Amino acid sequence: MSILLAALAAVLVGTILQRVSGTGVGLVVAPVLSLLMGPGAGVLATNAATTCSGFLITLSVRRLVEWRHAAVLVAAAVPGIVAGAVVVRHVPSAWLQVAVGSVVLAGLAITRFSPATPYASRRATVVPAGVIGGFFNATAGVAAPAMVIYSRVTRWDQVHFAATMQPVFMSMGALSAASKLVAGVHFALPVPALVAVVALVLTVLAGIAIGTWLARHMSKATAQKLAMTLATVGGVVVLARGTITLLTA
């Protein structure tokens, strides 16, 4: 039961942040569940939570979603997710986490500390962003850093970015979870499945309500900074998790 409560607390915080900035559930939930359940089951459970939160938040922001843009990102993510599932079967998860965390932090550093954020057109970057996001989501449960970098270099408006990410994360989460279930990854719940699902949905709804209120009182610039901060934290957590695993093996 303590595992479930800790997981729900992480989902609540992540959902609030995701409603405000567009990202948050994977960045907060993935490290918590990986510590509680192990990396394989933890990322799978994170994918399930992201699917639920993405779906419910999409319902509340659907008028702001750029649906064609979301569809292209999801379609591009499919080969990345498949590649990630294949790689996970042959490469120790710790090495994957170190590699993913390093790439994420390097990309964020370039975006943050360059004299001017490089500009790239959506047409040139949408497919690579989707593929990389899908790969990161399948291997580490964290697609947000790739999406945040993409939003910055393409000058994507924060409001529409935050809304469009919801169906994207929902789809990536569902596809990643399906790929892991096919590969034979499972996890045991401390309570009956129906109880866990109801608790998850209620927690996400509470997070959406709180996040919606906060979003009305937060500027676009603050929300964008929050998204960058969360992406950085996600990269650090993934890198640290992989490094600690290697050092203690």
Report the amino acid identity of residue 170: M
- Tell me how long the chain is: 249
**Cβ atoms 103, 109 nearer than 8 A:** no
Torsion angle of the four alpha carbons 39, 43, 49, 52, in this order, in degrees rounded to the nearest 10: -160
Domain ranges of the chain: 1-248
* More confident position, 1 or 161: 161
pLDDT band at 226 (very low <50, low <70, confident <90, very high): confident
**Cβ atoms 88, 236 nearer than 8 A:** no
Give, in order, the Cα–Cα distances in Å from 99 to each of 136, 215, 231.
10, 34, 15
Residue 230 in this model has a pLDDT that exceeds 80: no
Residue 202 in this model has a pLDDT that exceeds 90: yes
pTM of the model: 0.83
- In this prediction, residue 219 carries a pLDDT of 78
- In this prediction, residue 31 carries a pLDDT of 76
Maximum C-alpha span of the chain = 53
